[in-house]
Each structure stands twice: as structure tokens, then as C-alpha cells.
Amino acid sequence: MTKPIIRRLAFLTPGNYPDNDPAAGFEKTLQLFEFGEDIGFDGAWVRQRHLEPGISSAAAFLAAASQRTRRIELGTAVIPIGYESPYRLAEDLSTVDVLSRGRLNVGLSAGTPPHAETLGPLVFDGDWRSFDFSHERVLRFVRNLKGEPIGAPGAIVEFPGGRVTPRLQPYAAGLSERIWYGGGSLRSAEWAGRNGLNLLIGNVTSGEGTDDFFEAQLRQLEVFKAQAGHGRVALGRVIVPFDGADAVTRQRYRAYGEGRDDRTGKPHGERRTLFARDLVGPSQAIVEALLSDPVFAEVEELRLELPYSFRHEDYEQILSDVVEHIAPVFGWAEKTAETKSAPASA
């Protein structure tokens, strides 16, 4: 097995908040981004979820985060493209990338978006079941980011400040190369690679021809690499070390992990969905588990998927333990003062 190496270390936070106090929750998540940057993380990502007490607009939140951080990469994992206008979303996220000085990474998913039976009539004009939720919607978004002229040949847009050739504004150079697809099947991994997107994979995947989680994910990775050749892959795993936690918190973490164990080791539903086991315990045990993870051995970007509904101080302790006890084992080093002053390279 290949010796695992971590070149980039990031975390993904749910950004959840008390239903009656979203401002406090957003502030805590912004503080977590600042904390992650201070201790050397390369990236900080947020989930975008609808109808939940969490971040429903990744673009709006990351615009704020861009002004609270200087170096750390900012990411969305993932935006369901079905609810979005590929042009308007491109305008919003290009604006965020410019504000962050080129630090944005955009994760997307296609297919019928979550809660469509409830939200569809509110989002779409007409019968939402007739709308195009295919991968083509993602490609339209990417094409818009490239900043090419739009409209009829020779078209000009006049405005009080002058005359310009119409194209998406602002144009964020390089953003189209930092688009990620949230893959969980052979089809999605192959499509992402064939179309030049980067690949996000996590602790949930479809079982296709196997009930072994790692075997299924390795097949997806193989298909992606055969198509892409050069695309980035970021692996997500739920990792909860408790070296820096007190006895009461350790017990709470153990109870959390034990409560999640019954979903692993067997397929769920018609799609035979498979789950990786959450890694909860002392850092040494987590290191050993990662050393035996055959998918981790094939990638160089690790994304910690933080659990829902933990306390802010829990998240800080988990991130600190990973930086101190786990990531260095795999060759990752905290950023120096010099590298902390600039964004991580693409």
C-alpha cells in the first residue's frame, strides 16, 4: 500500500446554529474559520443545506469569511445546482472569489435537489418535474465562469461608465479550475473526470457491485483518474480525536461514535448506500485507522468532516488535536509565517 501523504489539510463544518439565534451561529462559524487559519489549516469548507438551521447560502457566508481571513482556502461542499441559475450563481461566486483574492473552491452536485417536493413549487415557475437537473446544468455554470463574450457577435453593452463587450462580471481568473463535483458513484466520478472537474469524495458512497465501502470508493477513484489524469481529489472522513478533551467530553464523543456504528458495514436503501466508520478516539488509534484506509493512501488532500451539533470549543479541540497529533504523521506541516501570508496554491 502507498504511504499516505497529506499535502493539503482542510475541514468541513456544518455551520449549524440554534433555530432562534442564527447570528450567533454564523459568528461562531466565522470564528472557527479564523481559528483554522491561525493553526495552519489549508482550507475551510461549509455545507450548503436548505430548510435546516445551517448555511443556506454558501456564497453569502463565504463573502463574509473572505473578509475575516487572509490565506485559508474557502470552499462550498456542496451546492445543489438544481435550485440555482447557472448564470446568477456564477456572478455570486465570482464576486466571492474576487473578494477572497482567488481563494474560493466551489463544490457542486447535480440531480433532483433535496426537498424538491416541498421547495420545487416555491423555486420554479411551472412544474418543477420538467426542469433540467442533469450534469449539463453544472457545465453551463462552468462555461459562464470562463468569462467569454456572450450575446450576438460584436454585441456591446452601454452603461454610464462606458461601453463593454458583454460577459459575466466580475471575471474571476482561475475560478473555473477550482470547481469540484461531489461524487458518490461510478457515473459521477467518471463524468467529473471527463469534464475536467475536481472530485470531492467523503464517508458516504453508493455500493455498486460490492458491499465493501473502500472497494466501492477505490473503483470510483480509479474511474476518475483514468478520465482526468490531473484533477485534484479531496477525501472527507469524520475524525474526532479526543486527546485534548476532558473526561466528560471524551465520554460524549464515545457515545456519539457508538451511536453511528450501526449504519456502517451494511448497505442501505435501494441505492445500497455505504458509510465509512467515524474515527473517534485517541489520535494514535485514528492514525492506525487512516493507515489501513486504502482510499486515503491514494489521495493527498484530507478534509475533516466535523459532526453536527458539537460545541464551538469541541470543534476547536478537534482541529487542534488533528494539527498536533495526526496530520504531521503523514508529512503535513503547519504553515510558516511566510506561507500564512498568502493563499495556498491551486
Q: What is the pLDDT along the chain (346 residues), one digit of tens a residue?
A: 567 999 999 999 999 999 999 999 999 999 999 999 999 999 999 999 999 999 999 999 999 999 999 999 999 999 999 999 999 999 999 999 999 999 999 999 999 999 999 999 999 998 999 999 999 999 999 999 999 999 899 899 999 999 999 999 999 999 999 999 999 999 999 999 999 999 999 999 999 989 999 999 999 999 999 997 678 999 999 999 999 999 999 999 999 999 998 888 788 888 889 999 999 999 999 999 999 999 999 999 999 999 998 999 999 999 999 999 999 999 998 765 445 555 554 4
Cα–Cα distance for residue pair 71/343, rounded to 1 Å: 4
**Count of other CB atoms within 10 angstroms of residue 124:** 15
CA angle in degrees (0–180, nearest 5) for 251-319-59: 120
In tens, the pLDDT along 154-206 reads 899 999 999 999 999 999 999 999 999 999 999 999 999 999 999 999 999 99
For residue 315, the number of C-alpha atoms closer than 13 Å in the C-beta half-sphere is 25
pTM of the model: 0.93
Contact of 107 with 200, CB cutoff 8 Å: yes
Contacts of the segment 93-97: beta carbons below 8 A, 24+ positions apart: 93/59, 93/145, 93/172, 93/175, 94/145, 94/168, 94/169, 94/170, 94/171, 94/172, 94/175, 95/59, 95/63, 95/170, 95/172, 96/59, 96/62, 96/63, 96/66, 97/172, 97/175
The Cα-based distances of 162 to 148, 152, 159, 168 in angstroms read 19, 19, 5, 16
Spatial neighbors of 314 by CB under 8 A, at least 6 apart, are 245, 249
Sequence letter at residue 28:
K
Cα–Cα distance for residue pair 343/346, rounded to 1 Å: 9
